[in-house]
Chains A and B, each alone.
Chain A
């Protein structure tokens, strides 16, 4: 396997030394491009109190192409589908090599605070979020309690 680029080494060191509040990202022991990520549900959101597991992979031509990120923990969110795939522009066409693992994870955390039902990935969730927000938030809290709080 090719040597790990210095940028990845530096980003990893910084993630471990100065972690982002509410986010932990640890590289896999056998693959330094694969990160085990835990994001805590933001305060004042239906995901508060939950610990959400994600996987993050840095492709061969990172940072020229975006990291691949997916929720492993089930989550009721209009921009995250049942396979955990995330609808976030900076992971697709708005990716720029000036962004980092850190900024990506912060954006994902922000997406939990501010769901965007107008640009949905999970259609049914988005629909409910628009017509009956209260019920959608109840569902999100219920899913958080059921899937993101067990240890």
Chain B
């Protein structure tokens, strides 16, 4: 008996709370039964606007929905917005026979039913066998990757009362503006006036999270367009498993990894600080097989990393940005504040951070005169008044031990000054810092030359 009660409870929430925006600017709140069709909606909305149901158009996601469309098929979520506008089609009320025939073909299926899976390749032939589109987004509200829903609005007045002339065929159509034309149903005269009729009205595509209840028309999500549903059952290039969804790299070959291996790839590159600071795209990675022109252009894809890893990603990205912009990072332990100094001044104060004042050249405390790097062999002070156990003392130093180790075991890359350790092999060094890659000689600490090769390649 108890179980029956539970079942009863679940059915109560089986209505959709929907907002209907009308062309006169008002918004109606309605509870819809998902099994209703659009004709039912028109019959309810029409009288509230003082119109006949036949005089209404219901617009959703760039499509005028036909009377026979069932609400449940429209990927509407709780609090979604439908648009109701008055149609300009001649409606003949008296001649009922002609009237029903005329309206038969008006409107279409919702976009989620007609849209095919988008590819990066624009030349792909229009194929009816192609599966329906699935979208993945990064949702800032849910703080995770979620399924997404594609929505359409007017490029000029941003109104959702807009119908497209054709479905987007590729990701370029969706991501770039002014690719798909349509009809603004909000204030068409205004939008056409803005344009002086010199160009057609264009559609703007955007995404919403399919998981949480819509927080309004501004509640958008970032499309993770490299994440696809694995409709062709492509195995992951790293683990060989066929997974779903997958990440398709933007290289010509379209290499595929599963999301788990993408995560391993990113965290491994992050650990080695091998992300690349791209001038246009930001701190990013190419295809793991090293294809040309394969950088990930939308860095929100790195939101697929765990929270702490993403925090580290942001930290590294900021640091690389500061360094690339000619800035310095505060050398004080646990500070690392990014500072972009003005001019060539050698004296830098960590303002807004720890307050440390240091020398730009040697990154030690600020000093007058030339930089004087202390000799690591000569660090112990002879004139100590206290008797201190030297072993204890060596263990109780604030980060001194690692400083000494770095100084003793590394040499700076002649180009970017990154302390570099040589753990074997020949004297030919290639700087591992991402974006540097300088070829240098461990012996001469200068660029690697043929002479180095001849005289001391192997030491």
Which residues of A are at the interface with B, using a C-beta cutoff of 8 A?
5-7, 10, 61, 63-65, 85, 94, 96-98, 121, 123
CB pair A96–B288 under 8 Å, yes or no, is: yes
For residue B420, give the distance in angstroms from its CB to the closest CB of chain A. Answer: 16
Pull 10 A–B residue pairs with CB atoms less than 8 Å apart, ordered by A. A7-B239, A61-B264, A63-B239, A64-B265, A64-B268, A85-B425, A94-B290, A97-B237, A98-B238, A98-B289
Partner of A85, one of B264, B265, B269, B424: B424
CB pair A63–B238 under 8 Å, yes or no, is: yes
Instruction: Point out the residues of chain B lying under 8 angstroms from A94, CB to CB.
Output: 290
Looking at chain B's contact residues, the main secondary structure is loop
Residue in chain A with minimal CB distance to B425: A85
B241 at the interface (CB under 8 A from A): yes
CB pair B426–A64 under 8 Å, yes or no, is: no
Once bound together, how far apart are the Cα atoms of A64 and B257, in whole Å?
11
Instruction: Point out the residues of chain B lying under 8 angstroms from A98, CB to CB.
Output: 237-238, 255, 288-289
Looking at chain A's contact residues, the main secondary structure is loop
CB pair B241–A64 under 8 Å, yes or no, is: no
A-B complex: 6 closest residue pairs judged by Cβ atoms: A61-B268, A96-B289, A97-B238, A64-B268, A7-B239, A98-B237
Instruction: Point out the residues of chain A lying under 8 angstroms from B265, CB to CB.
Output: 64, 97
Partner of B426, one of A5, A61, A121: A121
For residue B448, give the distance in angstroms from its CB to the closest CB of chain A. Answer: 14
For residue B260, give the distance in angstroms from its CB to the closest CB of chain A. Answer: 9
Partner of B241, one of A6, A65, A97, A123: A6
Known: A94-B290, A97-B289. 18 other contacts (CB 8 A): A6-B239, A6-B241, A7-B238, A10-B240, A61-B268, A61-B271, A63-B239, A64-B264, A64-B268, A64-B269, A64-B288, A85-B425, A96-B290, A97-B237, A97-B257, A98-B237, A98-B288, A123-B457
Instruction: Point out the residues of chain A lying under 8 angstroms from B271, CB to CB.
Output: 61
CB pair B261–A97 under 8 Å, yes or no, is: yes
Once bound together, how far apart are the Cα atoms of A123 and B452, in whole Å?
13
Contact with A along B292-328 (1 / 0, CB 8 A): 0000000000000000000000000000000000000
